Structure 1
């Protein structure tokens, strides 16, 4: 198999990478006290050494009491946590890699009483959870302004620490996505209503981050149609609706879109073989990152037998074909990199027999 297209350099106006492989953001939960330690730095260092062109970190919480839901999920604020992230950046750069933090707020996906701030209430555009059930009160405009500033501060800190870009997590039913999605956004002010109104929060977050980092610093925006617990959810039913949403985000300052799908080979709209990243590139002209089950032969479910679900080069021929057709620019790889940090180098060198197969045990350790 000719894997050369995966290892062609990527050059955009603001970001240059050695190849097309991106480490997908994956929540690991190995940061006690919400501070990434030396083991986290070495975890990312090994992926840089293994040949990943760009690392997107696990989601890391912006400076808001309810941004995350766990005592071991890292945050991106405070002297100790930022010092930990500085060690991560330095470790990745020492191996010649590049890295972006994923800036995150879970919104109404957080449960009442979740750590680390057990008294903090979940927040969202309308106080509705992902099922559309009322859990709390809608955010006030003043509270929304504070959240936007928290994203901007995190972006500024990322640049100061030496990160090569930022990624805003606007996918999977978390806070930014809750504003975009009509089920969770029932507001009647300027942050709600039609698709353009529901996009206002995302647009203002991007604009604030752009103002914080300047014009030459890359901003990646991750979005999805599907949500946690609702794989059939859609932000855009048609390419025309998607074009409207993405156009607003481009105008606000997004440089690269990370279009999250569960299986990269699946078409997004009827009548075209393009996946979500392919449509995104076609509609915006911006570089795109695709993602979804690279190295997994079948859907990863708790009841699946391991021998039936993993293959270190699963769907690789189709991936190469899509890259050769310029359907998208970059491909994010997730679980395949957990068991084998050397996955990119081994694929490049045609050493697929040496690849360590993904196993559930990899989720329990930070290797």
Structure 2
């Protein structure tokens, strides 16, 4: 019996994944001054024994003002690096799952409260609030404090911060980097004409709007070893008329491929409150399919992919090379086990858990 496509290995640069299941980055809003806490050890630890092919650490700010909230993880200083290294060292005693990190800057969507406290923007005059930045001085929501339009000095600082965080990630043994250019955060803000109304060489035309995200990508690419996997997450469309769209995304993806991008993770939305998203199972897969048809690097599909056969069909038909799950893995951290059992594949499990193997699936766990 042949191995299901979902459980075939895949190589990204110098890294080989045991299967095509990716754990998407999911913010936990549980850090202190950018430093991971015991919550992250528990959270990431359980996901690291899930049997997935790749675990991605949540959006990690490259600068303090780049955090979505005051409780976001960062990797901008030695204290952040030490806290993350402690977490990873503990996890790696028990798991050899490859681990990636998503490096991010929230731009105008920074300085917000925790989601379970409403998630609203915190004014810069209030505790845990600060002045946000962006490509243009256009607020995300009406009534919010507008961001400061970034000048060349601010843009250079962000480029250097991404590169420095990348070097820190390599130093503590993280296996791959994903650059966050989706969901309305800073790099996406530069891409979309709805949030980027600059009059200089970083605004206006598609070539100009892509310029700063591409510079950040190249800064990260140059900061890490050759063949080290550097990927990017994009929102393929703003789901708003006259915004960033799939056609522009395809052009961006082709350009990234030429510049050495290792993979493209295709999501959508997050830039504008007027977005109209047709949410349903696999609603973003057609976007990934279009990108996949335009590039030769691996493409990741994400978004309400919860059914085992659906996931297998996505990679089996070539709509994408990998599938990413986020909330579905929070709800069921053993989703890869159940997918393997359903599809007739084998999967790796900790020795401490081998006795849980169901009798009806005697070949589920890989020796």
Alignment of 1:287-366 (within 5 A): 287-295=298-306, 314=307, 316-350=308-342
Change in Cα spacing, 1:74 to 1:266, as seen in structure 2 (3 Å) is closer
Tell me the CA shift for residue 90 of structure 1. 2.5
Tell me, yes or no, if structure 1 residue 196 matches structure 2 residue 215.
no
How many residues align? The count is 322
Tell me, yes or no, if structure 1 residue 256 matches structure 2 residue 267.
no
Tell me the CA shift for residue 92 of structure 1. 4.0
Q: Aligned residue for 1:163?
A: 174
Q: Aligned residue for 1:211?
A: 222
SS at match of 2:336: helix
Tell me the CA shift for residue 237 of structure 1. 4.9
Alignment of 1:16-35 (within 5 A): 16-35=16-35
Alignment of 1:43-122 (within 5 A): 43-63=43-63, 65-94=64-93, 95-110=95-110, 111=121, 113=123, 118=128, 120-122=130-132
Tell me the C-alpha RMSD between the 2 structures. 2.7
Q: Aligned residue for 1:363?
A: none
Tell me, yes or no, if structure 1 residue 149 matches structure 2 residue 160.
yes
Tell me the CA shift for residue 277 of structure 1. 1.7
Q: Aligned residue for 1:139?
A: 150
Contact 2:299–2:320, Cα closer than 8 Å, also in 1: yes
5+ long unaligned stretches in structure 2: 111-120, 269-278, 344-355, 357-367
Q: Aligned residue for 1:236?
A: 245
Contact 2:237–2:245, Cα closer than 8 Å, also in 1: no
Tell me the CA shift for residue 233 of structure 1. 7.4
Which among 276, 293, 296 is matched to residue 285 of structure 1?
296
**Cα separation, 1, equivalents of 2:61 and 2:125:** 12
Contact 2:194–2:242, Cα closer than 8 Å, also in 1: no
5+ long unaligned stretches in structure 1: 268-273, 296-313, 355-367
Of 163-172 and 253-262, more deviation after overlay is shown by: 253-262
Per-residue CA shift, 1:246-279, capped at 9, x if unaligned?
Answer: 2222233311001014656337xxxxxx622222
Q: Aligned residue for 1:125?
A: 135
**Cα separation, 2, equivalents of 1:60 and 1:12:** 21
User: What's the TM-score, normalizing by structure 1?
Assistant: 0.80
**Cα separation, 2, equivalents of 1:233 and 1:90:** 46
Contact 1:258–1:289, Cα closer than 8 Å, also in 2: yes
User: What's the TM-score, normalizing by structure 2?
Assistant: 0.80
SS at match of 1:173: coil
SS at match of 1:83: helix
**Cα separation, 2, equivalents of 1:339 and 1:195:** 39
Per-residue CA shift, 1:121-173, capped at 9, x if unaligned?
Answer: 11000121235888143110111011110011111110111000011110011
**Cα separation, 2, equivalents of 1:185 and 1:253:** 25
Q: Aligned residue for 1:40?
A: 40
**Cα separation, 2, equivalents of 1:120 and 1:265:** 37
Tell me the CA shift for residue 280 of structure 1. 1.6
Change in Cα spacing, 1:7 to 1:117, as seen in structure 2 (3 Å) is farther
